[in-house]
Amino acid sequence: NAGVTQTPKFQVLKTGQSMTLQCAQDMNHNSMYWYRQDPGMGLRLIYYSASEGTTDKGEVPNGYNVSRLNKREFSLRLESAAPSQTSVYFCASSERWGGDTTGELFFGEGSRLTVL
Amino acid sequence: ELKVEQNPLFLSMQEGKNYTIYCNYSTTSDRLYWYRQDPGKSLESLFVLLSNGAVKQEGRLMASLDTKARLSTLHITAAVHDLSATYFCAVRVHNAGNMLTFGGGTRLMVKP
């Protein structure tokens, strides 16, 4: 059982280049998330998708776009990368919020992005 | 705006000692989570605390939640080197859907 799978694991970009981070989960979860992690700042939510067909902005959405391709896949796109977007990006998934569900997030291994 | 603060940010301790990590948050919440992260790795779920007074224990780690004080603690008993990692708390805001807000993390180093 793979859980949450992210690709690529490492990427180096030049300022202004574009790229897409891919994320897939095999736990039949409804909700998916993209976080970024910077030293000393914990994790900050970029975008999330509560269910297939919906996406919402998180705390730091500027410079990013997302696509919930289907229930399994949630991609994050940087249209014009900037050095400030150098970070480690984590995809996560959870059961849909509500009822008896815990809302616990399950994380992928992370994608380390450097923008020069 | 929800703020989640952890302290200390860094903790160096000897094996066999006890210590507590604190997680304070600024608004009403109905779920609190603790995660562990090893260097260069993903985040692993440790505890989910669902109500006021909830206490959960796993091995040398025990987490508790006081929703009235907006405080959660992660207590380490008789620390061992394998507990060295960064620990994060995360809070779900009441009636704010699926969004979790994370604290800045506590880096724990346990020395032999």
**Taking CB atoms and an 8 Å limit, are B102 and A42 in contact across chains?**
yes
Residue-level pLDDT at B96: 62
Q: pLDDT tens digits, residue range B19-29? A: 999 999 998 88
d(CA A48, CA A72): 13
Confidence at residue B95, expressed as pLDDT on a 0 to 100 scale: 63
- Among chain A residues, CA nearest to B50: A102
Question: What number is the average pLDDT over the span A43-71?
Answer: 93
Q: What is the per-residue pLDDT for B59? A: 96
Query: A75-101: per-residue pLDDT in tens?
Result: 999 999 999 999 999 999 998 766 667
Residue B27: per-residue pLDDT:
86
Phi-psi category of residue A16: left, alpha or beta, with phi > 0 → left and psi -120 to 50 → alpha: left
How many angstroms separate the CA atoms of A10 and B72, rounded? 35
Pairing mode of beta strands A106-107, B55-58? unpaired
CB nearest to B102's CB, from A43, A97, A110: A43
CB atoms near residue A67 (< 10 Å): 14
CB pairs < 8 Å spanning A and B: 61
Whether the CB-CB separation of A10 and A110 falls below 8 Å is answered with no
pLDDT of B4 above 70: yes
Q: What pLDDT, on the 0 to 100 scale, is given for residue A39?
A: 81
Residues in CB range of A33: below 8 A, 6 or more apart: A45, A47, A48, A49, A58, A74, A91, A92, A93, A94, A105, B98, B100
pLDDT of res. B97? 63
More confident position, A53 or B74: B74
**A107 pLDDT exceeds 90?**
yes
Inter-chain touch A104–B45, beta carbons under 8 Å? yes
The model's pLDDT over A1-11, given as tens digits with 9 standing for 90+, comes to 679 999 999 99
CA distances from B52 to A83, A99, B55 (A): 42, 17, 9
Average pLDDT, chain A: 93
- pLDDT score of A42: 85
User: Is the peptide bond between A83 and the residue preceding it cis, with omega within 30 degrees of 0?
Assistant: no
The pLDDT of residue A82: 97
Distance CA(B49)–CA(A48), nearest Å, equals 22
- Segment B87-99, tens digit of pLDDT: 999 998 766 666 8
Residue type, A80: S
Residues of B in contact with A103 (CB under 8 A): 31, 48, 92, 98, 100
Which residue from A42, A106, A109 is facing B103, i.e. has the nearest CB? A42
* Mean pLDDT computed over B47-66: 93
